[in-house]
Structure 1
């Protein structure tokens, strides 16, 4: 079965795409990925050109797929290969364009090869056959799940890269105090003090689902989100219309907490949920308040996960500040297929050394968790 390449998910019925998903993770749903395209967050001059790979049976049934993008830069991926690109530039090797199998702007582990395993493996084999013909330096698949890991590990030429994130696990806590009781005394007092500092500034929190926000409130959410980029001198990845489209297409998966001082909203955190997990995504604040970031992004999400019986809180990339709040180190994986033999050899050597460091970092981080011993 030949692999088809689509420059827009609009060519695939949402029901057919979503039928390939083995789990209900919101980031892989047709609604999420198509909202990125239809809002202009990807495509155009963004450096993310949709090039989704599909394997279709002669009967017309969709057998396997991979959300994919031709990239002209490495921003918004959260698996950092800028050093590889710089080395290629100095050596006169073209690193861009490259093909990326990922969810744009979302460092979340999950399925990347969708559909029946045998068909997904066939798609994977055909993926690397015409890279040179298409002028692509390689294929990169980020934040993979165990199925993709097993398929990629058994194929030649693919290089595995480890990363480390921090996730919080709900161990059947009755409430936030029940969680606090599992911590060492000093850490428990620190978190209580942080929460008290926020409450002392007269800030309350209002939780909403996607259908419960007005367009004016979405304007505020976007202003907060965009401000986190503007203060660093960067342009936001997502457009304003993305949020409205997502609220229209999958409102049941959206959770927004508004931080308010009196009746005035001052900050927000935007998250997505599925049946087991809470995914903290975007945060923003339009004024400075002591410790508000920790409360809005972490403690409110932990409170919500406990109240709803969600098992895991994935708060995104980066993380020592999460570690002392009970978020545990988790290894992530990405895979890289590079066509230039010299580049492939150099990257393979680098990844072998980096792997040792990442594993040591995760082990050391695990020893610094704030939980009581014994």
Structure 2
């Protein structure tokens, strides 16, 4: 058996970027650059409630595995909701926080969480994570949105599994947006055409630009829109402007800005992340209301770009069955959970069995409501 050496690091600054990325399979949001940008701009750290505690595994002083980990003092920015679990702990006189989370902060997208090229290393990493949770008397461990191979490793290690629903668009080798529309039922196709015409008739035009080619003023306008989305809900944005500037400077080619203008005046913007063959829909905002602008900026413009550039998938995120009629279909996503308290673990396990059955029924219901033609 290999003698891996495990360490916890509270910053990526001491890790070689190329070594980290060599284990990452090209995923943008678990790349060294993306995670380090969160740290360097203060979006994670002591005051944020996201304390980096990344696990690294070395063999003969060579990095062979890593897990992005955070010690959490709240459940904000996760998108897999465990507030009820925390409340149950509190009502029983127990502390739910701090807890340990493997996730990309504020980013609900499926991807690698056990960063390693070898399954043996992944199994060792999972066992080391749970040992760290126990040794530090943390209430629980949670892995959010792991890809399938990693999910099976967490299951083998004794974690409870949980399902949730997101809405994703899949490219069926469409030649153009017109062909894509032709695959839909007539009533859905007609609705999308009407929505797009309404935007065109409002004299709205779009500019799609790679983040590294966008000027700082474009990024400032995007951030103003992003802030506005939170402000109108009476809340503050999770991420600061410095983070987005770091993305522009470090991995700008893996970002995509879509900027809408009406009569020459910018009115809305959306930011997508490009990761291998997938487009991750992330943030949007508008400075004024225009009918259909949200759907056009966030969905149709992105789908057109995906078709033109050969991307296989567009992840539109969680929530909002309105995405279904625009061609984004419901898909099951996953998370894994380990709770130290035996009775609470049993209770959560029973809850997840019931919840999982309900999610399965909901997913099946979504498939019957597909906007696409069926044979």
In structure 1, what is the equivalent of residue 7 of structure 2? Answer: 4
SS at match of 1:372: coil
CA distance in 1, matches of 2:33, 2:339: 31
* Deviation (angstroms), 1:217: 1.7
Q: Is the 8 A contact 1:97 1:135 kept in 2?
A: no
In structure 2, what is the equivalent of residue 17 of structure 1? Answer: 20
CA distance in 2, matches of 1:67, 1:212: 29
CA distance in 2, matches of 1:27, 1:173: 27
In structure 2, what is the equivalent of residue 361 of structure 1? Answer: 362
SS at match of 2:135: coil
TM-score, normalised to structure 2, is: 0.97
Q: Is the 8 A contact 1:205 1:259 kept in 2?
A: yes
In structure 2, what is the equivalent of residue 39 of structure 1? Answer: 41
SS at match of 1:167: strand
SS at match of 2:257: strand
SS at match of 1:302: helix
Q: Is the 8 A contact 1:270 1:283 kept in 2?
A: yes
Q: Is the 8 A contact 2:163 2:356 kept in 1?
A: yes
Q: Is the 8 A contact 2:168 2:328 kept in 1?
A: yes
In structure 2, what is the equivalent of residue 348 of structure 1? Answer: 349
Deviates more, 1:126-135 or 1:193-202: 126-135
In structure 2, what is the equivalent of residue 317 of structure 1? Answer: 318
SS at match of 2:184: coil
How big is each residue's C-alpha offset from its partner over 1:301-353, in whole Å with a ceiling of 9 and x where there is no partner?
11000110111111112130111111111111100010011110110010000
CA distance in 1, matches of 2:135, 2:57: 19
* Deviation (angstroms), 1:53: 0.7
In structure 2, what is the equivalent of residue 72 of structure 1? Answer: 73
How big is each residue's C-alpha offset from its partner over 1:263-309, in whole Å with a ceiling of 9 and x where there is no partner?
21110010011331111110111111111000000000110001101
| Match status 1:29 vs 2:34 | no
CA distance in 2, matches of 1:324, 1:95: 39
* Deviation (angstroms), 1:54: 0.7
- Count matched residues: 371
TM-score, normalised to structure 1, is: 0.97
In structure 1, what is the equivalent of residue 140 of structure 2? Answer: 138
CA distance in 2, matches of 1:285, 1:212: 22
* Deviation (angstroms), 1:45: 1.2
In structure 1, what is the equivalent of residue 99 of structure 2? Answer: 98
* Deviation (angstroms), 1:130: 3.7
SS at match of 1:342: helix
Q: Is the 8 A contact 1:69 1:99 kept in 2?
A: yes
In structure 2, what is the equivalent of residue 51 of structure 1? Answer: 53
* Deviation (angstroms), 1:215: 1.7
Q: Is the 8 A contact 2:143 2:337 kept in 1?
A: yes
Q: Is the 8 A contact 1:94 1:137 kept in 2?
A: yes
Alignment of 1:146-157 (within 5 A): 146-156=148-158
Q: Is the 8 A contact 2:126 2:157 kept in 1?
A: no
Q: Is the 8 A contact 2:183 2:372 kept in 1?
A: yes
* Deviation (angstroms), 1:131: 2.4
SS at match of 1:63: strand
Gaps of at least 5 residues in structure 2 are none
CA distance in 2, matches of 1:133, 1:55: 18
SS at match of 2:80: coil
In structure 1, what is the equivalent of residue 113 of structure 2? Answer: 112
Alignment of 1:125-274 (within 5 A): 125-156=127-158, 158-274=159-275
Gaps of at least 5 residues in structure 1 are none
CA distance in 1, matches of 2:16, 2:91: 44
SS at match of 1:148: helix
How big is each residue's C-alpha offset from its partner over 1:97-137, in whole Å with a ceiling of 9 and x where there is no partner?
00000001111001000012211211111211242432311
